[in-house]
Chains A and B, each alone.
Chain A
């Protein structure tokens, strides 16, 4: 894929991934065919900041987990009053990382 396109993609989407993953993603994208460009454009990535806001406001209901695509864990959180409140508190600190990890996983599947 053209280096300019890749850099444009990286600039627009860097907030969705961990810093350590950015280099890896860039390298992978550079090896890809241009046909993947359309696929990358329509990929729906989850915003870690939105996930954190949801987690702080209604994390007790597991909505943060539903938002990042962890439906099963969302149900578990919903059924247990947010894991007796403890899981809710833990998620305030890890949900952004979990969202980025989910995005990376989605990206990996999309470009494989």
Chain B
């Protein structure tokens, strides 16, 4: 089963139609736990993007030699390998970024979204398509995290990217872990509503 989507459609698919956070509702632990500020969301997003792309491509290359009964351990092994390598490369060549991103990178081994993408997409599709799917999923995750971080940082701390914009802290509630569920839920509802409105207007035109 090969996908008939173009590379551009695959990227857009990851960001909109199958957004990991708002549509697939995967990897909710980091989404709720870490998206307290825009910067945190962005850092984790970048880290996920790299791991997703590398792992997707690796699995797409080796998909024919992976025994179906041990595919999940193989995926985990692949992800862990890339996480370790990226961790080492960051520590060696980008020490300043590593100081901020280090703990996020190590967390990624257990992310559901990456394993799920390897199982659903990379293990069936070509290397090329898997690469673009990885980019789309990574960007979609990053976009979701930044959007969550934006709302929570602004409403919880009154700052954006660490800069004081409001001058006061409106509701500290929003940076606490459980508020992540509320923000994710409300934003998911909001995006679903936009989709409904969009489809209705399209149907009316037709």
On whether the two chains bind one another, the answer is no
List residues of A whose CB falls within 8 A of some B CB. none
